[in-house]
Amino acid sequence: SSPIAWLRTRFYYLLIRLYFDQEFSIEEFTRGAKQAFSVVSKLLSQRKLDLLEELVSAEVLQVLKEKISLLPDSHRDALAADIDAIMYTTEGDVRIYYDDDGRKFVSILMCFWYLNGANLPDEVPGEAKVFQIVFGDENMKEKKHLLMANYEFQREFTEGAKPDWTITRIEHPRLLE
């Protein structure tokens, strides 16, 4: 990311610590986001959407129910990310906002790059190229795809609100469209 974007996100983290949660740590948040991403992506892959109700917003869950039912098995398998297969994680957009009722919210977009061994075609829909990595020698090739996912986490910081982060956006480009 650009130096300006990096500075802007660090400024937002400072604001979160100053005005919302004095113990907020982006490192701790990132660890939790990676765990949540791994759990949610596996549940999506297994079509266990009823287990996502406490983790994902109702609006996102409704959209997922429609999309998951239409996915081919190979794309559904590619959604799953083992926590050890997450190669790179970065924060995207950070927002602090208030709604019309004066409730306070923070949302953080997280971008994950992960390896997955699903049997995807070389060219996936939309004519976008998926990276492929081959492990092993010629006789024992193991093909993995380097895939990307964006998950947005939101938490309400209004006094009396539950201190839980909820996933309010799930994107698996070229897989879950």
Tens-place pLDDT, residues 34-91: 999 999 999 999 999 999 999 999 999 999 999 998 999 989 999 999 999 999 999 9
88-144 pLDDT, tens digit each:
999 989 999 999 999 999 999 999 999 988 887 765 543 344 555 566 665 566 678
Our measurement of the distance from residue 93's CA atom to the centroid of its chain's CA atoms, rounded to an integer in Å, reads 13
Can you give the pLDDT at residue 11? Answer: 95
Can you give the pLDDT at residue 128? Answer: 42
For residue 126 the two structure tokens come to: 């939309």
- Residue 17 one-letter amino acid: R
Can you give the pLDDT at residue 155? Answer: 97
Give the max Cα distance, the chain: 63
Q: ∠ at Cα 46 (128, 57), nearest 5°? A: 80
How far is it, in rounded angstroms, from Cα 98 to Cα 156? 9
DSSP secondary structure of 144-174: EEEEEEEEEEEEE-STTS----EEEEEE-TT
The overall average pLDDT reported for the chain is: 88
H or E stretch at 1: none
Instruction: Residue 120: name the closest of 170, 84, 173, 82 by CA.
Output: 173
Answer yes or no: are the C-beta atoms of 49 and 39 closer than 8 Å: no
For the ranges 27-36, 116-125, 166-175, the lowest mean pLDDT is seen at 116-125
Our measurement of the distance from residue 8's CA atom to the centroid of its chain's CA atoms, rounded to an integer in Å, reads 21
Q: What is the pTM of this model?
A: 0.88
For residue 33 the two structure tokens come to: 């986001």
135-149 pLDDT, tens digit each:
666 556 667 888 999
